[in-house]
Structure 1
Amino acid sequence: MLFGLSLASPLLAQTPTAREPTAVIASRVEQARWSDPLEALGTLKSDESVTISATVTETIQSLEFEGGEHVEAGDVLVRLSNDQAQADLRAAKALRDQRQAQVDRLSQLQQRNLGTRAEAEDSRAQLRQAQAEVEALQAQLEDYTIQAPFSGVVGFRQVSAGTLVSPGTELATLDQLDRMKLDFQVPATALGSLAPGMSLTATSAAYPEASFQGEIAAISPRVDSVTRSASVRAILDNPERQLRPGMLMEVTVARRQRETLVIPEAALIPEGERHYVLVIQEGEDGKTVERRRVRVGERRPGEAEVLEGLTAGDLIVNHGAERVRDGDAVRLLGITDDETSVRELLRANRDAGDA
C-alpha cells in the first residue's frame, strides 16, 4: 500500500493565485527649462542716489517737501533767502544800463567826429564787463533754489526753515527706486559661467512670498586677491518701489539655461553610482513596470535632470517603487503634476475606499 497523495488529490490540483497588482503613483517625464543655479548674497543700491546739500551759506527760506514723497526732475525742494543776492543783481544791472548809455553817447559823438575811437572802444569793454557781472550774479542766484536733479523719492528732511546752512550741509537724500542695482560677490572659479545679460532671481526676508527678476549688467574686471572673488552688478526692476537701498537679497543666477528632461527626485532608485527608474508599460494584461537605468545630470530641490534613458512623456513610478520589482503588474492610483501632489492622491484614494 502506497502512502501519500494520489495525482487526483484535490490539494495538488490547486494552483497558486495570481499576485494582485501593486498600487503606485506615477509622474510624467517632462521637458522643462533648466539651469545650473549659482547662489550668493547681495546688497541693493539705488539706480541713482544723491545727497541734497547747499552750495552757498544762507538761511533756509522754505522747504517744499516733507520726506518720503516722489518728486519729478526739476521740482523745487529748498528755497534759500536771496535778498542780498537780489540786491547785488539789481546793482549790477544798474551799472550795466549806465555803461550802455555811455556807449550810446560816445557812439553818437564819434559819428559826428566829436569823440575819439579809443574812448568808444573803452566804453564798450566796460559794458561787456558789466554784462558779464550780471550773468554771473544771475547764475549764482540759481544756487538759492535747490531742485531735484532727477525723479525719485526724497528722504526725510534734516533741517527746518530758518536754519543757517553752508556748502556741504545735508538737507535730504534723493533716490531713484524704479530700478535697483544689486551688487554681490561670486567665486573667481564661477566667472567662466557668467556673462552680462544672464537672468537671475532675488528674494528678501522682507517679502517672503515675492521674487524679483533681473539680469547681470556688469562683472568687475578685478578679482580680490584675498577672497578670490569678483563683484557682479545686476539690475532689478522695482515698479512698485518695494525694494530699498541697503536691503540684503538672496541671489540665484540661472547659468547654462537649457531645455532638458526633468523627473521627480523621489522616482530615482540609487544603487551605488548608478540610478534606475521604474517605467510603466501598457500591455494586453494591464500595466507592468520596466526597470530602466538612467543617467542623471544636475539636481534642484525635488527634481532631477535626466540626460539618458528616458523620453518626454514616459510614465514612471513616483511613489511605491520600493514595493515593485521589474516586470511586476501595477495599479495606477493617479499621476502627479504641478497641481496634484502625492499626498493629495493618497488622500483621494483613501477617501474613495472609505466610501
Structure 2
Amino acid sequence: MAWPVKRYGFAAAIIAGLGLMAAVVAGKSLLDGGERAVAASAAGPQAKGPGGEAPSVRAEPARRHTFSDAVQAIGTAQARESIVITPKVADTIRAIRFESGQRVRRGAVLVELASVEQQADVAEARAAREAAERELVRYRDLFEQGFLPRARLDSAQAAFDAADARLQAGLSRIADRTIRAPFAGVTGLRTASPGQYARPGDSIGTLDDISLIKLDFDVAETHLARLQPGVAIVARTAAFPDLSFAGEIENVDSRVDAQTRTVRVRALLPNREERLRPGMLMTVEVRSNPREALAAPENAIIDEADGAYVFVAAPRGGAHVATRTRVQTGLRVGGMVEITAGVSEGQLVVVEGVQRVRPNQPVRLIDESERPSGQPAASSGLRGRS
C-alpha cells in the first residue's frame, strides 16, 4: 500500500530537520566558547583566578587608632553657678536694674527695694555715732590730763561702740534691700515689676553662669573602677544631634545608692558658645582606658563560627592576591573594629567587595574615583578616632 511509504517519508524529514537544528546549536556553542577562551587568554593571568575573573575591590592599609572602654549613661545639665533672684526681706520693689537675658558682672545691682525708713534710721544712727565720738575724744583728753577717772573714759568708749554698732546695723538693713549679683552670669526671664510687693522666696528672676556646664549622671557600681577624676567623656543632646561636647569627670560621689546600686558622677563641659542650657537631658559616654590599636572597618570583618577573618590583599607576582587571614577582634565602636592580632600595621585590608572575593584569588584594586556612581562608600574610619 502507498500510505505507509508516505508516512515513513514524513517522519524521516522531521528527524533530519531536528538533526540539522542540533548541529547549528552545537556549532554556535563551540564558537562562543572559543571566543571566551581567546578573551581570557588576552586578559592575561592577572585577570583570572580560581573563582573566575579577578573582582574589583578597594583596600586600605591597617592603621592604629585610639580605642577606649565606653560606659553609657544619661545625665542632666546644670549651670556652673545658679541662683533664684529673691529678696531677703519683705518690701516694695523700688527698681529692677536688669533685663531678661542680660549679661551682668559680679557685684552689679540687680534689684533695689524701698528703704526710706531705713535711710532715716541710718541718718539718726550716724548722728549719734558722731556725737559719741566727740564726747569720747573730749573725755580722753581729760583723762590724759588727770582730770577724769578711768571709769568715765570707759563709759564714753562703750557709748561710742554702741552708736557705731547701731550705724552698722542700719547700713546692713539697707544692704539687704539691694540685691547684687554674687557672680558674673546671664539673667533669665524677669518675673516681677517695680512697685510690686515681694517677700523672701518670691522669684524676681534667675542668674546662671553657663560658661561651664556641670553634668550629673548615675553609673552602675560595677563600673566604679573606671570612674576617676580626669577621665574623658563625650556628651550629646537631641537639641544639637550633629554636635558632641567633650569634657572630663570632675568628681565621683563618696556614696553608692543602696537602692539603685549606682553612684553619682559629675563631669564638666566647657560651654564657651553657650549652646548648652541648664536642665537639658544629655546622653553620656565615659571613655576610660584609652589605648592605641590596629583597626579595620566593620564591613571588612567576616564573622564565622570559628572566629573572625579578613581578606588581606598581598602582592604576588606583580598582582594582588586575596589572602584569607584570621584575626582577633576587640571593641566595635562607630563602625570600626579593634584588631588585637592577625594583621600587621600597613597591610592592605579589603574594605569593599569582600563578598565577591574567594581565598587566594587575584583581585584588582580600585580607588575612590573608580567606584560606580551611586554606590555608597565603605564605612571606613581608618583615618579617624574610635
User: By how many angstroms is 1:180 displaced?
Assistant: 0.5
User: By how many angstroms is 1:184 displaced?
Assistant: 0.9
Where is the strand percentage greater, Structure 1 or Structure 2? 1
The corresponding residue for 1:224 is: 257
TM-score, normalised to structure 1, is: 0.86
Cα distance, 1:108–1:305 mapped onto 2, change above 3 Å: closer
- 1:188-216, Cα deviation, whole Å (9 max, x unpaired): 11112221111111111111111111001
Three-state SS of the structure 1 residue aligned to 2:229 is coil
Cα distance, 1:271–1:82 mapped onto 2, change above 3 Å: same
User: By how many angstroms is 1:176 displaced?
Assistant: 0.7
The corresponding residue for 1:3 is: none
User: By how many angstroms is 1:324 displaced?
Assistant: 2.0
Deviates more, 1:230-239 or 1:139-148: 139-148
Task: Select which of 222, 235, 248 maps to 2:268.
Answer: 235
1:262 aligns with 2:288: no
Q: How many residues align?
A: 331
Three-state SS of the structure 2 residue aligned to 1:195 is coil
1:153 aligns with 2:186: yes
Q: How does 1:57-96 map to 2 (within 5 A)?
A: 57-96=90-129
Task: Select which of 193, 200, 204 maps to 1:167.
Answer: 200
Distance 1:310 1:112 in 2: 102
Three-state SS of the structure 1 residue aligned to 2:367 is strand
The corresponding residue for 1:345 is: 371
Cα distance, 1:124–1:192 mapped onto 2, change above 3 Å: closer
Distance 1:282 1:313 in 2: 13
The corresponding residue for 1:210 is: 243
TM-score, normalised to structure 2, is: 0.80
The RMSD of aligned alpha carbons is 2.4
Three-state SS of the structure 2 residue aligned to 1:137 is helix
The share of aligned pairs that are identical, in percent, is: 37
User: By how many angstroms is 1:99 displaced?
Assistant: 2.2
User: By how many angstroms is 1:97 displaced?
Assistant: 2.3
Q: How does 1:296-315 map to 2 (within 5 A)?
A: 296-315=329-348
> Contact 1:51 / 1:172 at 8 angstroms: preserved in 2?
yes
Q: Which is greater in Rg?
A: 2
Distance 1:200 1:222 in 2: 21
Distance 2:276 2:255 in 1: 28
The corresponding residue for 1:200 is: 233
Q: How does 1:17-56 map to 2 (within 5 A)?
A: 19=48, 20-56=53-89
Deviates more, 1:297-306 or 1:326-335: 326-335
User: By how many angstroms is 1:115 displaced?
Assistant: 4.8
Deviates more, 1:164-173 or 1:146-155: 164-173
Task: Select which of 164, 188, 210 maps to 1:177.
Answer: 210
User: By how many angstroms is 1:253 displaced?
Assistant: 1.2
Distance 2:141 2:300 in 1: 105
- Residue 346 of structure 1 aligns to which amino acid in structure 2? P
> Contact 1:107 / 1:120 at 8 angstroms: preserved in 2?
yes
Distance 1:117 1:187 in 2: 73
- 1:248-297, Cα deviation, whole Å (9 max, x unpaired): 00111112110000001111122204111111111224111111111111
Task: Select which of 92, 116, 137 maps to 2:170.
Answer: 137
User: By how many angstroms is 1:233 displaced?
Assistant: 0.8
The corresponding residue for 2:277 is: 244
Three-state SS of the structure 2 residue aligned to 1:214 is strand
Where is the helix percentage greater, Structure 1 or Structure 2? 2
